[in-house]
């Protein structure tokens, strides 16, 4: 998939951007969409397979907003 929107002169007016987006999305072939879908599904499955690992890591991260970062004591 080779969409180069930024390579064209863009005014960034909403109407112009919408038209440019519609043209470029419309130019994507069924095969390209299928490849993107397959890639997304593979990434999703990879993340799901590592979910238990991420859970154990996240449990070790603790954020306490009530703790002052200043470690020096004032007397």
Q: Is the pLDDT of residue 62 over 80?
A: no
Total number of domains in the chain: 1
Structural domain for 42, as ranges: 29-60
Does residue 10 belong to any structural domain of this protein? no
What is the Cα 9 distance to its own chain's centre?
Answer: 26
**Contact in structure between 8 and 20 (CB atoms under 8 Å):** yes
Give the per-residue pLDDT at 41.
Answer: 97
Does residue 41 belong to any structural domain of this protein? yes
Does residue 47 belong to any structural domain of this protein? yes
Q: Is the pLDDT of residue 65 over 90?
A: no
Angle at which helix 30-49 crosses helix 51-60, to 10 degrees, equals: 50
Does residue 36 belong to any structural domain of this protein? yes
Give the per-residue pLDDT at 69.
Answer: 62
Does residue 71 belong to any structural domain of this protein? no
Give 7-42 pLDDT, tens digit per residue: 666 677 889 889 888 999 999 999 999 999 999 999
Does residue 6 belong to any structural domain of this protein? no
Does residue 24 belong to any structural domain of this protein? no
Residues 6+ apart with CB under 8 A from 10: 16, 17, 20
30 phi, psi to nearest 5 deg: -60, -40
């Amino acid at each position: 998939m080779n969409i180069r929107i930024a390579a064209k002169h863009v005014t960034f007016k909403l109407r112009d951007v919408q038209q440019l987006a519609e043209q470029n999305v419309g130019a994507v072939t069924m095969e390209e969409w299928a490849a993107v879908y397959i890639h997304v599904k593979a990434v999703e499955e990879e993340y799901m397979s590592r979910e238990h690992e991420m859970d154990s890591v996240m449990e070790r991260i603790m954020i306490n907003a009530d703790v002052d970062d200043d470690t020096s004591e004032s007397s």
